[in-house]
Amino acid sequence: MITVSVLYANSDDASFDIDYYVTKHMPMVQAKLGSALLDSQAEQGLASGTPGEKPPYVALCHLHFDSVEAFQGAFAPHAEEILADVANYTNIEPTFQISEIKPI
């Protein structure tokens, strides 16, 4: 299984509409990706490891798929529409991380 994480880095001029993100954007992403998307999680940054320091990321999401191919097959047909919606909730350019889940 793989995780596709989308990370929105913090900065002094970062803006992020968390309500739009969880009530509009993420439900749209879930609908577009369909059953290839096994599970999804949205997160809002609270803190870093250093007291008083801003969280490295304002927001993140983690999307689980069976494989990179399953993700690509589900995402490619809707990539343009999904990415076009990003400007509706943030001025941050998202970072994409694709990872393999390792048994502990």
* Region 33-72 residues binding its own copies, contact defined as CB under 8 A: 40-50, 55-57, 59-60, 62, 68
User: Would you say 21 or 90 has its CB closer to its own copies?
Assistant: 21
Nearest to 58 by CA among 73, 72, 42, 70: 42
Q: By CB under 8 A, is residue 3 in contact with its own copies?
A: yes
Q: By CB under 8 A, is residue 26 in contact with its own copies?
A: yes
β-bridge mates for residue 63, sequence order? 4, 40
User: Would you say 5 or 85 has its CB closer to its own copies?
Assistant: 5
Q: By CB under 8 A, is residue 96 in contact with its own copies?
A: yes
The Cα-based distances of 38 to 27, 29, 74 in angstroms read 14, 12, 11
